[in-house]
Structures are given as structure tokens and as C-alpha cells.
Amino acid sequence: MSRMLRRARLDDLAAVMELERATFTDDAWPEDAMRREFESPHGYYLVVVDDAAPEVILGYAGLLAGRGSGEGDIQTIAVASDLRGQGVGRTLMQALIAEARRRGAERLFLEVRADNPVARALYDSLGFVEIGVRPRYYRGGIDAVLMRLDVPEPVTAPASPQEAP
């Protein structure tokens, strides 16, 4: 399977929402909120698709960062369950970090469910550090762990979306 990382388009919204609801069954974003994110001039959303079936979204992630604001926020990230552990999430995150850097962000924030050690390990490996906890933030009383990355200078930053693992 050949995968491609590209900028999300509004016509991807239905497929993104399908993956959103499958991934975050109790905490999925409403479709109108996701649409606003896609349309925001401060948003930057990426999708991973299979070249043979480009209408199927295999993963997506979003960044909110105004140009020159100095800060950005990873809004969401999801990868199809059968592709987890294959580097898709890392590729999405690295592309968002690179875009945050291009937009002038010096700090990047995210939150992750305390009961998601796989995502937490990914963020740790990318240099994010825990800065706080929002107790019982998610349904079911699950805490949200707040994390920050001091955006590093580029070693070799990708110029644009590219082939995904």
C-alpha cells in the first residue's frame, strides 16, 4: 500500500469524521466544529490516504497556529486502528511540527488522555514534556495530560506534505 500525506480539503470532512467517531467514540468532535477548523485561516489539517483509494482517510491531524503568534496547538490526531504502530502518527506529528515552525511558533501544546500510553510515548519521543493535568477532563473521569514542545530549529524540515510511511 502506497500512502500519501497531503493537506486536508473540505471534501475530506465526511471521511475524517468517520475516522474521528471510530477513534474517539465518547469524545468525538461535532462535525460543525471540525468544519470550522478546516476553514480557519489559522488551521492546518493533514490527511494520510492510500494512493489506490484516496477517498479513504487512514489518518489525520490538525494544528491551530496563527502566523507569528509564537504558539500553536495540536488540535487532534487519529490513525486507523489497523495502521497504528506503523509510523503514520509520527509522520503526521512531524509535519505539524514543521508547519508550526514555518508559522513562527516557538511553543507547541497538546493534550492527551492519561489512559493512552501509546500516544503519550509518541509525544515524549518527539520532545513534548508534561506541564500539567486537567483532572477528569474526558468522559468517564479520565484526566487530560497537558504537554508542551519547545519547537526546535529545523534540521531538515520538509517543505510540504509528502509520501507517508
Q: Which residues are catalytic?
A: 111, 123
> Which of 79, 63, 53 has the alpha carbon at shortest distance from 151?
63
The whole-angstrom separation of Cα 147 and Cα 149 is: 7
Q: Indicate the residue type of 65.
A: A
End-to-end CA distance of the chain: 9
Q: List the grid coordinates of 39.
A: 476553514
The whole-angstrom separation of Cα 61 and Cα 165 is: 15
> Which of 165, 164, 132 has the alpha carbon at shortest distance from 148?
132
Q: Residue 21 contacts by C-beta under 8 Å, 6 or more apart in sequence?
A: 28
